[in-house]
Amino acid sequence: MNRLYKTSAIIVAAGSGSRMKANINKQYLLLSGKQILAHTLEVFESSELISEIIVVINKEEHKQFESCILNPYNFSKIKSVVDGGVDRQESVFNGLASVSGDIEIIAVHDGARPFVTLDIINNSIAAAVIGGAACVGVPVKDTIKQVNQSGIVEKTLDRSLLWSIQTPQVFKKDILINAHKKAIADGFRGTDDCTLAERIRQSV
């Protein structure tokens, strides 16, 4: 990139620990003595490409977030802490409302993915600057079969063409906002932000 693009990171941390059978939000589980969410935020805080951070949390967890994250670590780039929605899509949309007006790029990342690296963040932003939208993924190693409603295999998919998608997912601001607004207008719910961008014919 020839210049630094003003980039906002929306960190989605409004989930729960249900799949991990934890009695607390998985973001607050300890990893090497530090909350998973704190590890995640530290990486984005340290990136020179990130101008601001918006954290989306469960509306019942403001006191916990303050005591476990805000007070101990003094993150300087956290601009807003906003309430999550009924699902991930609504949580991201809530976060979009707090993005500063001069932001050009938005990176959406799951708070429970603490092993993101500076290279991954920086390369994702660079790819979004060029193409408008980018996501992180890993090649699928398992054999994946498509089945019908009766559980009968219809075909085996070519795994060389399949990727398991992760975060961050990074977009030019207008693309992400328009994708979310279109989804809301259509009553569409997607499992990630790239799905919404794909619906408005944005290549990722």
From first to last of its 204 residues, the chain has per-residue pLDDT tens of 667 899 999 999 997 554 445 567 889 999 999 999 999 999 999 999 999 999 999 999 999 999 999 999 989 999 999 999 999 999 999 999 999 999 999 999 999 999 999 999 999 999 999 999 999 999 999 999 999 999 999 999 999 999 999 999 999 999 999 999 999 999 999 999 999 999 999 999
In a domain, 154, yes or no: no
Number of domains in the chain: 1
SS3 142: coil
Per the CB < 8 A criterion, the answer to whether 171 and 133 are in contact is yes
In a domain, 144, yes or no: no
My answer on whether omega of the bond before 139 falls inside 30° of 0, hence cis, is no
Give the pLDDT of residue 76.
97
In a domain, 94, yes or no: yes
In a domain, 160, yes or no: no
Q: How many residues are given for the chain? A: 204
CA distances from 64 to 16, 68, 183, 197 (A): 13, 6, 32, 33
Other Cβ atoms within 10 Å of 31 Cβ, number: 13
In a domain, 143, yes or no: no
In a domain, 59, yes or no: yes
List Cβ neighbours of 105 (8 Å cut-off, separation of 6 or more): 5, 6, 7, 8, 125, 128, 129, 170, 171, 172, 173
Burial of residue 185, with CB atoms counted within 10 A of its CB: 0-12 exposed, 13-18 middle, 19 or more buried: exposed
What is the CA angle 13-14-18, rounded to 5?
Answer: 105
In a domain, 101, yes or no: yes
Give the pLDDT of residue 25.
82
- Check the CA dihedral 44-50-55-56 and report its sign: negative
Q: Which domain holds residue 12?
A: 7-135+167-199
Q: 173-186 vs 88-96: helix axis angle to the nearest 10?
A: 130
Take residue 147 and report the two structure tokens written for it.
Answer: 């089945």
CATH number at residue 184: 3.90.550.10
In a domain, 96, yes or no: yes
List Cβ neighbours of 145 (8 Å cut-off, separation of 6 or more): 153, 154, 155, 156, 157
Concatenated DSSP letters for 102-130? Answer: T--EEEEEETT-TT--HHHHHHHHHHHHH
